[in-house]
Amino acid sequence: MPDVPRLRAALLHWYDQDARDLPWRTGPAARGVGARPDPYRVWLSEVMLQQTTVSHAAPYFLAFTRRWSTVGALAAVEEGELMAAWAGLGYYARARNLLRCARAVAGEHGGAFPDTEAGLAALPGVGPYTAAAVAAIAFDRPANVVDGNVERVMARLFAVETPLPAAKPELKRLAGTLVRDERPGDWAQALMDLGATICTPRNPACDRCPVRAFCAGVSSGAPQRFPRRTRKAPRPERRGIAYVLTRGGEVALVRRPGEGLLGGMLGLPTSEWTDVAASPPPRPAPGAWREAGEVAHVFTHFSLALRVLTSEGGDAQALAEDAIWTPAAQAAQALPTVFRKVLKAALASA
Ligand code: SF4
C-alpha cells in the first residue's frame, strides 16, 4: 500500500499547477478564493461526458448553458427541442434522462440539487457514477468517483492482475482507499486529469507523472500492461438500407419510436437492421431508387452497414407518408450521427 498522504499531496499539488481549464470547471485557484461550482453545470457536464470526449462535449455544453442557464430553464424545454439540441452527442437515452432529472430538481426540489450522494442517486436517471461525481465536485462530499479513466489509473498504481471487467469492484475499492475529507472535489478532478493527460490508455507519460514514486505499475517495468482485460467477443454486424427522399431542397425525416435505439430522435426512413450472420440482406422498398454508396457506423453493441438509396420525387414518396419535410441543412443539424453520415453520402452523390 502506498503512503497515501504523500501520494495525495503529490497529485493535488500537480493539480493546483496543471489543472485543465474546462468550461464547466471551477479550478483550484478559484476554489482557493472561495468560488463554488454551480451544481447544474457540474451535473450537465458529467451527463454529457459519459461515453463522449471533452473536446466533443465542450461545444454542446456551451450551447446548452447559453440557451438554458439554469436547471429550471432546462426543465421547461419541450422534449423534441432538447433531442434536437442533443443530436450528435449519442446515447440518446441520456437526453431523455437529463430532462426527467431536470424536471424533478426544478419541481420536487425547488430548483436546488440534493447535496448528498444518496440524494443525488435518488433523482431519476442519475446513476451511481454521476451521483458520486456531482456530490464530490459540486458539494465537496468525500465520494468515490470511479470511471474508466480512474479504473485504469488504479489498475496501474496498484498493478492489479485481475482482468477487467472482473476487476471493477477491486479497482473501486482501491480508489476508495485514497479518498479523504480534504478537498474531495479537487481530488476527483485531479484523478480525472491524470487519467486524461498523463496516464493515458496507450502511452502513459510516466516520466512526467506526479505519482510515479508510488506506482507499482511503473515499478513492474510495463505499466501499459495494466489494466489486464478478458478478450472480448467480436461485435455483431448488422446491415440495412437507409432511404434519402428529397423534394426540392427538402429531405423526408421520420420520428423514431420513443423506446429503443435512438428512441424519440429524428431519423431517415430505413429498412429493418438485420443480423449479417443470421438473415439475408433486406430488399429495397418499391420505387425508383439510385445507389449512393454505403455508410458504416459503430454502436456500443453492434456495427452497422447501411446501403444508401436516394430518390427525388416519384413513386418512392409512398415510403414517406409520415415524413417531416425539412430543409437539408437544418436536417443535418437535427439528426444523430449515423443519419448525418447517410445524408452526407446522399448529398455528395447527387
Ligand atoms: S507512473 Fe505511469 S502508469 Fe503509474 S500512474 Fe503515473 S502515468 Fe500511470
Domain of residue 292, CATH code: 3.90.79.10
Q: In whole angstroms, give the CA distance from residue 44 to residue 30.
A: 20
DSSP state of 208: G
Q: What is the CATH number of the domain that holds 194?
A: 1.10.340.30
> Considering its fold, how many domains does the chain have in total?
2
Residues 140 and 248 in one domain: no
Q: What confidence tens digit (pLDDT) does each residue in 160-190 have?
A: 999 999 999 999 999 999 999 999 999 999 9
Would you say residue 187 lies in a domain?
yes
Residues 327 and 191 in one domain: no
Question: What is the residue range of 211's domain?
Answer: 4-225
Residues 218 and 246 in one domain: no
Residues 203 and 279 in one domain: no
CA of 205, closest atom in ligand 1: 7
Give the pLDDT score at 234: 84
Residues 259 and 323 in one domain: yes
Q: Are 101 and 46 in contact (CB under 8 A)?
A: no
Give the pLDDT score at 315: 58
For ligand 1, say whether the CB of 347 is within 6 Å of any of its atoms.
no
Cα 215 to ligand 1 centroid, rounded to whole Å: 6
Residues 83 and 198 in one domain: yes
Pocket test for ligand 1, best of 8, 149, 156 (most atoms within 8 A of CB): 156
For ligand 1, say whether the CB of 206 is within 6 Å of any of its atoms.
yes
Q: What confidence tens digit (pLDDT) does each residue in 235-279 have?
A: 999 999 999 998 888 999 998 888 888 888 899 999 999 998 888
Residues 254 and 192 in one domain: no
Residues linked to residue 242 through DSSP beta bridges, in sequence order: 270, 308
Q: Which of 225, 253, 272 is the last residue of a domain?
A: 225
Give the pLDDT score at 314: 57
ω into 23 cis (within 30 of 0): no
The residue that leads in pLDDT, 315 or 142, is 142
Would you say residue 180 lies in a domain?
yes
Catalytically active residues are 46
Give the pLDDT score at 219: 95
The stretch 283-310 carries a mean pLDDT of 90
The stretch 26-55 carries a mean pLDDT of 93
Widest CA span in the chain: 74
Q: Which of 171, 205, 225 is the last residue of a domain?
A: 225
For ligand 1, say whether the CB of 191 is within 6 Å of any of its atoms.
no
- Return the number of other C-beta atoms located less than 10 Å from residue 80's C-beta: 13
User: Does residue 242 sit in helix, strand or coil?
Assistant: strand
With the C-alpha atoms ordered 111, 116, 119, 122, is the resulting torsion angle positive or negative? positive
Residues 74 and 53 in one domain: yes
Q: Cα angle vertex 248, ends 242, 249, to 5°?
A: 75
Would you say residue 87 lies in a domain?
yes
Alpha helices in the chain (DSSP H): 4-18, 28-32, 39-49, 54-67, 71-75, 79-86, 93-107, 117-121, 128-139, 148-157, 168-176, 184-193, 216-219, 328-334, 337-349
Instruction: For the chain, state the CA radius of gyration.
Output: 23
Would you say residue 261 lies in a domain?
yes
Residues 118 and 251 in one domain: no
Give the pLDDT score at 200: 96
Residue 287 — pLDDT band, cuts 50, 70, 90?
confident
Q: Which of 225, 252, 286 is the last residue of a domain?
A: 225
Residue 122 — pLDDT band, cuts 50, 70, 90?
very high
**What are the residues whose beta carbons fall under 8 Å from the beta carbon of 243, sequence distance 6 or more?**
252, 268, 269, 270, 285, 289, 309, 310, 311, 316, 319
Residue 40 — pLDDT band, cuts 50, 70, 90?
very high
> Which grid cell sits at 66?
447559453
Cα 83 to ligand 1 centroid, rounded to whole Å: 39
Would you say residue 216 lies in a domain?
yes
Question: Residues 103-114, buried b or exposed e (16+ Cβ, 10 A)?
Answer: bbbbeeeeeebb
Residues 122 and 21 in one domain: yes
Phi, psi (rounded to 5 degrees) for 223:
-60, -30
Residues of the chain above pLDDT 90, percent = 73
The residue that leads in pLDDT, 156 or 249, is 156
Pocket test for ligand 1, best of 150, 152, 209 (most atoms within 8 A of CB): 209
pTM > 0.85: yes or no: no
Would you say residue 231 lies in a domain?
no
Pocket test for ligand 1, best of 206, 208, 220, 224 (most atoms within 8 A of CB): 206
CA of 156, closest atom in ligand 1: 3
- SS3 for 285-336 is CCCCCEEEEEEEEECCCCEEEEEEEEEECCHHHHHHCCCEEEEHHHHHHHCC
Residues 38 and 172 in one domain: yes
Q: What confidence tens digit (pLDDT) does each residue in 50-85 have?
A: 878 999 999 999 999 999 999 999 999 999 899 989
Residues 115 and 220 in one domain: yes
Indicate the average pLDDT of the chain: 92
